[in-house]
Amino acid sequence: MEKGNIADNVARIRERIAAAAARIGRKPEEVLLVAVCKGIEPERIKQAIAAGITDLGENYLQEALGKRREIGGEVKWHFIGHLQRNKVKAVLEAFSLLQSVDSLRLAEEISRRAQARSEKAEILLQVNTSGEASKFGAKPEEAPALAEAISSLPGLCLLGLMTIGRLEPEPEAARGEFRLLANLFKSIAGLGLPKVKMRWLSMGMTHDFEVAIEEGANLVRVGRGIFGPRAE
């Protein structure tokens, strides 16, 4: 997709979200669109906000901090990249939702830092549904036990699950992985764990978000579809 007009791109993505939601009898407003702005300059991000974007996703802490200073807190910031434990303190100061919590050790560090701030950190559990070695995330079979362990940690609120579908030309390739995460979401929600509120099922990006919505996603992360290809 070419860069084009960002407002037009946002409108087209919302139309596609609405169509995908309609196919399974859902309302488009049930699906949160998070604009992924990795590598995107602040001026173009502001155009997306002017077009109605309320949530931004960032992969890298330092890049996000510079943008946040310029853009401010009028939007909700999601951390969606791999999170190292030594970056937790700074990430908690800048982001509202941490989507990429993939281990108990990381959750324990977030818990410790959140308690020091007298706050409750909102997190998603990242699951590697494709089994690809290049991807981070808990193994699907370990996710329920990990969610249960996280539920016992003070200063945390587990709000759902996140995954990254396999990057193949055909969006259908990821359908089974999205279905797996949706089933895990239902299973964990049914456990009745304390401090676990299964609100967000985060899956689907520019090339496969429609398939993700059809499988139950209510949070999609779209970068290229809004901003066009990043400059290399």
pLDDT digit string, tens, across residues 8-60: 999 999 999 999 999 999 999 999 999 999 999 999 999 999 999 999 999 99
pLDDT tier at 84, thresholds 50, 70, 90: very high
pLDDT reading at 140 higher than 90: yes
pLDDT reading at 109 higher than 70: yes
pLDDT value for 1: 41
pLDDT value for 167: 84
pLDDT reading at 125 higher than 60: yes
Tokens read off for 97: 């939702």
Region 150-167: mean pLDDT is 96
What is the residue-averaged pLDDT of the chain?
A: 95
Kindly list the domain boundaries of the chain, sorted by start residue: 6-201+210-223
Written as one letter, the residue type at 26 is R
pTM score of the predicted model:
0.95
Q: Are 217 and 31 in contact (CB under 8 A)?
A: yes
**CATH class (in words) of the domain with range 6-201+210-223:** alpha beta
Write the CB contacts of 116 (distance below 8 Å, at least 6 apart in sequence). Answer: none
pLDDT value for 118: 94
pLDDT value for 113: 97
pLDDT value for 230: 72
pLDDT reading at 128 higher than 60: yes
pLDDT value for 72: 78
pLDDT reading at 196 higher than 50: yes
Region 185-206: mean pLDDT is 97
Convert the chain into a string of H (helix), E (strand) and C (coil).
CCCCCHHHHHHHHHHHHHHHHHHCCCCHHHCEEEEECCCCCHHHHHHHHHCCCCEEEECCHHHHHHHHHHHCCCCEEEECCCCCHHHHHHHHHHCCEEEEECCHHHHHHHHHHHHHCCCCEEEEEEECCCCCCCCCCECHHHHHHHHHHHHCCCCEEEEEEECCCCCCCCHHHHHHHHHHHHHHHHHHHCCCCCCEEEEEEECCCCCCHHHHHHCCCCEEEECHHHHCCCCC
pLDDT value for 4: 66
